[in-house]
């Protein structure tokens, strides 16, 4: 029972790490896209499609 608790705790830590790193990547890309949009360098629909393509790598996706 104790092993299951520690194992699930490690899974939560790993999942948290993945979510945080993916969010940081998304936020950097979003910030860059907002800068490009303000300067008129790209089609807004293309940027929206690209940003909405970001997904978290979940086990369900496999």
- Three-class HEC string of 18-34: HHHHHHHHHHHHHHHHH
pLDDT at 9: 79
Model confidence at 62, pLDDT cuts 50, 70, 90, reads very low
pLDDT in tens, 4-61: 665 677 888 888 888 888 889 889 988 988 888 888 888 888 888 888 887 766 655 4
pLDDT of 2: 55
Virtual CA dihedral for 54, 57, 60, 61, nearest 10 degrees?
60
The residue assigned the tokens 């970001």 is 54
The answer to whether residue 3 is domain-embedded is no
25 inside domain: yes
Q: Total domain count for the chain?
A: 1
Report yes or no on 58 lying in a domain: no
């Amino acid at each position: 029972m104790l092993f299951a608790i520690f194992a699930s705790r490690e899974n939560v830590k790993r999942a948290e790490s993945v979510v945080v790193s993916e969010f940081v990547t998304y936020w950097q890309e979003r910030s860059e896209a907002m800068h490009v949009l303000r300067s008129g360098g790209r089609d807004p629909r293309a940027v929206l499609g690209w940003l909405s393509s970001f997904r978290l790598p979940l086990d369900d996706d496999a």
